[in-house]
Structure formats: structure tokens, C-alpha cells
Amino acid sequence: MRLAITTALLATLSLNPLLAADWPQWRGPNRDGRSPETGLLQAWPEEGPPLAWRVGGLGGGYSSVAVAGDRIYTLGDLEDGQYAMALGRTDGATIWKTKIGPTWNDRFLGPRSTPTVDGDRIYVMSTEGEVFCLKAADGEKVWSRSLPDDYGSHLMQAMGTTDWRYAESPLVDGDRVIVTPGISEVALVALDKRTGAEIWKAPIRRIGSQGAYGAGYSSVVISHGAGVKQYVQFIGRGVIGIEAESGKYLWGYNKVANDIANIATPLVDGDYIFASSGYRTGSALIKLSPGGENGVQAEEVYFIDPETMQNHHGGLILHEGHVYTGTGHNMGFPIAVKMEDGEVAWGPERNSGKNSAAITYADGRIYFRYQNGRMILVEATPEGYREHGTFEIPDVRKESWSHPVIAGGMLYLREQDNLFAYDIRAR
């Protein structure tokens, strides 16, 4: 009897080899936009991959989704407020929803933050800059902290720009949650993930004149550059490194900052940090090494001018020594750059997508999602730009900005009130 059960179980697993894969936070398991999954479609049929299901009722917003266990988590603006919500992974049915603040009623309606799943808790940030810890089972609030009220936080604003509200996705690391007030007195703060109590707060010094005072629209990543565990973040004045254990300021790099919106999450690769921003700013590779007043020094390896490469938003992917992204301010033209020296391998290319592109990597392919709702599958190779299929996301009525998510052989595309799940497993 035991042999029969084991055989049946193995048969089931062989038919569904990807079902255990999760995408528990912003930009995936390692916050680098990369899915570890294989066995995916290498080319799409003319009509695109098959749609497994779609569900509405998520409200307005550009939040992506987190996928963990049998749940999907996201944020949305409904009529009476802004909500965190949990959906069933197999059909998108609503399991619970919890109000986390007021709606954001402007042209760019709705939240941008992606929930972070950590065991039996999820962590979210509202557009008002309030951080919540919720129970994953039922959405019950465990604790909350307000970055503006508790730390005097505000977003970078200059040249008469409007306040585009908070877009950060919290980082959970061990026993703590890391979020970004973004001001000189408190650039980052570490909170106890169970209670919300402050562990440390990190003041920084002035790192240059470019950019604008305040938090940016990026999210924290972890680096062990120069042998020191640190949190790397792109704030209004530039890219910074903060020692993980103590909250001590280690280094800052100002040249890649603009004074309107620093958005793209930096790439981490050993002792190197790659960062890019739009508004005619450009891109840079930074090397971390032991030394300097605080124990880690940051040196610019090269700077790429904005005419060659700038990522407005939509993100960066590092694959086999090359950085792939959409370049041009609000253009998203595909480009591949060798990370070691900044030389362009190919691009920028023109395709049927329009405006900025949010990108995700899986199984040798990069998924470009354009503002006009066009999905394009591109081979991740420095040898040249090669498309392997396109399709249109249904019912696109606003900017199609939410980042694609790949988990368990499914491609999840949040489109404002709707969530689409496409089966991208190779047959």
C-alpha cells in the first residue's frame, strides 16, 4: 500500500514539477527580478500562452503580487479605502482583505508596493508611508508604524513635482524589517518584525548635490560587498550602503541620482552595485572595497550617459555578466550591456511595445511588459535581440506598469482591477 501511494505521489510531482515555486516578495526570491524556474515555454504561440484564469475586484493600483504557498497577496484601492488582500492561488478567489489607509485619488491611482511574505506574516506599505504587519491567515493587523509620523519621512520632491506617494516594498531580513524614511537623520530604519519596535535607525551624511532630499521610490536589497553585510538603497540623493548589524552609514554614491524620481532597484553582484535612473541621468557600476573612514569605500568603475542607457522604471536584470533593461526616458527600448565594462552588446531596439517596460527573467527569457499592455518574450543573450512571441494583456485602460511575476509555471499579470494567470509551462 505504501509503495502504491509513493508511486502515485511521484507521478503527481512529475506532472507538476513547478507547483512548489514561490515568489514571496518584490522582484522575487532574491529581489533581483529572476525566477529560478525551468521547463517553461521558450516561444509563445501566436495568440500568446494559454490563460488559466482571470479575476477582478482587486481595485486600482500598480502593485505587483507576491505568491507563497496556496495564496497570492497584493494591494489595491477600492471605493472606501486602500486594502491588502489575499487570493487563492488556483483561481484568484478573495480569501481576505484588510484596510490599510485611504485611497489615493489622482491620475496615477493606487498603491505600488508589493507585499512581502515571511512565514505566517506579511508586510506591506501603504501609499501614506504606513508599514503594516498582518497575519497571513486572515489579514489581522499585528502592528503598524508610520514613516512620516514616527520619523519625519517624506519623498523626494523638486522642481515643483507632485508627491507621488510611497512605493517601497519592505525587506524582511532575519528578525527585522527594513524600510526607508529616506531623510538625512533617518535614511533607513530596522524594526523588529514581530513587534514593530525600533532596532536601529541610520543617519547619513550629505553625499552630493544631485538628486533631491527625501526617500526615493526604490526598495532595499542586501549586499555583502567588501566583506560587510549591508543594506543598499536608492534614495533621493543617490545610492547608499548601511551596515546591517548596526545601522552605520558606510558609503554613498550621488552621480546616478536625479531630482525628480529615483525608482529602479539596484543590482547587487558580489562587490559590485549597478544602478540606473531616468530623467536624463544615466547608469553606473560601483565597486565596494575595504577602506575609507567607515570601513567600506565605493568607487565608480564607469558611468554610462543617458543617451546610451537610462532606466526610467521597470527594472534591471543581470544574467551571465550582462545587464538587460528597457532604456530611454519612458521608452523601454530593449538593451544589453556588459556589466564588467559597460560596453553595449546590442540595442537599443525598437519593437511593438510602447513607453516604459517592466521586466522579469525566467529560463533563458526576459519578459518585457510595456505600458500599452504589450507582452514581449526576449531571449537573454548578448548575441543579439531575439523575440520569441508577443501578446496583448486584455482590458488595458491605464498605464500597464505592474511587474510580471513567474511562480509555479504561471505568469501573473496584475492589470489594475484584474489579475491574469497564464500557464507558461512547456508541454
DSSP 8-state symbol, 265: P
Mean pLDDT for back-to-back runs of 10 residues, the chain (427 residues)? 36 38 97 97 97 97 97 96 97 98 78 97 97 98 98 80 84 98 97 98 94 95 98 98 98 96 97 97 98 95 98 97 96 97 97 96 98 98 98 95 98 97 96
Q: Is residue 417 part of a domain?
A: no
Q: Do you know the residue count of the chain?
A: 427
Q: What whole-number distance in Å separates Cα of residue 125 and Cα of residue 112? A: 9
Q: Is residue 54 part of a domain?
A: no
Q: Is residue 231 part of a domain?
A: yes
Q: Is residue 195 part of a domain?
A: yes
Are 87 and 67 a contacting pair, CB within 8 Å?
A: no
Q: Is residue 58 part of a domain?
A: no
Are 97 and 157 a contacting pair, CB within 8 Å?
A: no
Q: Is residue 374 part of a domain?
A: no
Query: How far are the Cα atoms of 16, 142, 240, 411 from residue 30, in angstroms, in the given order?
Result: 23, 26, 19, 18
Say which residue the cell 505568491 belongs to: 67
DSSP 8-state symbol, 150: H
Structural domain including 199 reads 152-311
Which CATH number covers residue 177?
2.40.128.630
Query: How far are the Cα atoms of 171, 189, 195, 197, 235 from residue 176, in angstroms, in the given order?
Result: 8, 10, 10, 9, 20
- Candidates 137, 21, 35; CA nearest to 68 is 21
Q: Is residue 221 part of a domain?
A: yes
Q: Is residue 131 part of a domain?
A: no
Are 131 and 144 a contacting pair, CB within 8 Å?
A: yes
Per-residue model confidence (pLDDT) at position 246: 98
Number of domains in the chain: 1
3-state secondary structure 153-220: CCECCCCCCCCCCCCCCCEEECCEEEECCCCCCCCEEEEECCCCCEEEEECCCCCCCCCCCCECCCCC
Per-residue model confidence (pLDDT) at position 356: 94
Q: By three-state DSSP, how is residue 268 classified?
A: strand
Q: What whole-number distance in Å separates Cα of residue 341 and Cα of residue 344? A: 9
Are 123 and 133 a contacting pair, CB within 8 Å?
A: yes
